[in-house]
Each structure stands twice: as C-alpha cells, then as structure tokens.
C-alpha cells in the first residue's frame, strides 16, 4: 500500500492532550502519535523573560497523518481557535512521501 499524505504536527501544552485527541478523532483521522516534549516558544519568553517551558517536558507533540491537506487544516484551525489564545502552541504541515504500511489509513 503506497499513498501520499500530509503530516500535521501540533506542539502544545500537555493538559490539552485529551481535548486535542478528541478534535483529531472527530475530524475523521484514523489515528495519531503523541510524544512528551519540552522546549521554548515565543510566549514563554515574552511573558516573563523566563521560559515557562524548560527542560520539564510539559508539552506534547501530536503527529497526525491525514489523507488530505484539507483535513489537516481543519484540525489545526479547530485547535488554534479553541486553545491558542490561552495556551502556547504551534501547528504545521509536512509532506509525507509515501505511507508504506498501515493497518488502515
């Protein structure tokens, strides 16, 4: 099985884990991967001069393979509209060349 796909990457705060998982589900994506992440974003630096998010891995990074750019943008828009005024976050799309093997995609 070989298909082109988009990879949507969302990095945001860990407490949003379940809510964002639900948005991804409801958009019709068949799955996603989550890893614990740390880092530093512009929000952390600007608010206090100190990074809010240090070496503590209090962020999460979602990766969602979507069959179309449209689905990736829809998920990203939903997440940003609901959460990115109040929480740190970034969302971007990468090209996936080929999905080689998956149970269902």
- Residues that bind its own copies in the complex, under the rule CB under 8 A: 5-7, 11, 17-18, 21, 25, 30-46, 55, 57, 59, 61, 65, 72-73, 76-77, 79-80, 84, 88-105
- Note whether 59 and 38 are within 8 A (CB): yes
Least distance CB 45 / its own copies (angstroms) = 8
CA distances, 77 to each of 10, 20, 90 (Å): 11, 12, 11
Least distance CB 43 / its own copies (angstroms) = 5
Least distance CB 26 / its own copies (angstroms) = 13
Q: What's the rounded Cα separation, in Å, for the pair 5 and 84?
A: 25
């Amino acid at each position: 099985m070989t298909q082109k796909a988009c990879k949507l990457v969302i990095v945001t705060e860990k407490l949003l884990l379940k809510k964002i998982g639900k948005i991804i589900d409801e958009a019709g994506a068949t799955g996603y991967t989550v890893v614990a992440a740390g880092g530093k974003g512009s929000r952390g630096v600007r608010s206090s001069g100190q990074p809010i998010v240090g070496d503590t891995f209090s962020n999460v990074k979602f990766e969602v393979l979507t069959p179309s750019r449209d689905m990736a943008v829809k998920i990203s828009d939903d997440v940003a509209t609901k959460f990115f005024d109040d929480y740190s976050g970034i969302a971007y799309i990468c090209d996936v060349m080929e999905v080689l093997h998956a149970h269902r995609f």
